[in-house]
Structure 1
Amino acid sequence: MEFLDSLLCMFTSRVTGRNGSYTLEIPEQEIEVGSLEEGKRYRVALFDASEVGAVEVGGNSSGVTGHVSGTQQQPNNSEVLDQPPVNEGEIREVEIEDIGEKGDGIARIPPGYVVFVENTSPGDRVRIEITEARDNFAFADVVGQI
């Protein structure tokens, strides 16, 4: 499967039922960082995150890759959407795209995973180290300029 260039964000969520209707919860940070706007209409695609290999991040399915310590890395085919596309201690090269509510720079790692980076501004190209990786976003420190 190829991800579209227009992909705004990616997260894992559960479908829940209430009073004969079903909802999908969108994490608050997807609204806060500017990827999505409350009240705006979006086209949604859902994938079963429990099926290993159903929607792979990396490999031949999406072509998503990243830089780790200067070398090209492709995740294992068993990595699916319910796992962050980064690990704590991993080094990445990113461009800061925006500023979050608390003043941290915001970078996105394909396909839309948000990383908050302190002491950066939009347009900065920096080498970062992931300090904390959560399901839908991460925190990182700058370790160098690009």
Structure 2
Amino acid sequence: MVEISDSLCSLFTAKIKKENGTFVIEIPSSEIKHGALTVDETYRIALLDSSSEAESTSPQSPRHPASQGSTSHDSSGPPVDEGEVRDVTIETVGDQGDGIAKVERGYVVIVPGAQPDDEPTVEIEQVQENVAFASIVDSDPRAL
């Protein structure tokens, strides 16, 4: 199993391509769009063998990983558990008007009633393979 550092900004799968005598790895536009990476910034890059378990993970943005629990998660499954309480940062609002936060490995947590830049404490209510649904248990004190 591959251990992933909490300082990891992004994790995605890409092929190395040869272009004009150099080798290129394309960064998915979603990594820029969601703020995991910024254009014209320098990043340290780690490459994992495609046969590792990390191949099945999705983009990640753990700049706000503040988990209050001490639960450890298998890197191939969801990084949250039902009933878990954690602090999240709402990054955007989805089509239905619900707040959307990303936690480890880019895993999405949907939080009804939350707005971008809110930092509520939430309880995970339902966990699916690619998304979890949570409710606010303590509002962001800045929003008061």
TM-score of the two chains, using structure 2 as the length reference: 0.58
- Residue in 1 that maps onto 2:122: 126
Distance 1:123-1:105 versus aligned 2 partners, 3 A rule: same
Paired residue total: 117
Range that drifts further, 2-11 or 28-37: 2-11
- 1:29 alignment partner, SS class: helix
TM-score of the two chains, using structure 1 as the length reference: 0.57
Is the Cα–Cα contact under 8 Å of residues 121 and 136 in structure 2 kept in the other structure? no
Residue by residue over 1:16-52, the C-alpha shift from the partner in whole angstroms, topping out at 9 and shown as x without a partner, is: 2233322212222221221211122211111113146
Identify unmatched segments of 5+ residues in structure 2.
Answer: 55-66, 139-144
- Distance in 1 (CA, whole Å) between partners of 2:38 and 2:93 is 15
Q: Using the aligned pairs only, state the percent identity.
A: 24
- Distance in 2 (CA, whole Å) between partners of 1:35 and 1:49 is 22
- Residue in 1 that maps onto 2:11: 10
The equivalences for 1:1-146 within 5 A come to: 3-51=4-52, 72-75=71-74, 83=76, 85-86=77-78, 91=82, 92-100=84-92, 102=94, 104-109=99-104, 112-119=105-112, 120-121=114-115, 122-128=118-124, 129-131=126-128, 133=130, 139-143=131-135, 145=137
- 1:100 alignment partner, SS class: strand
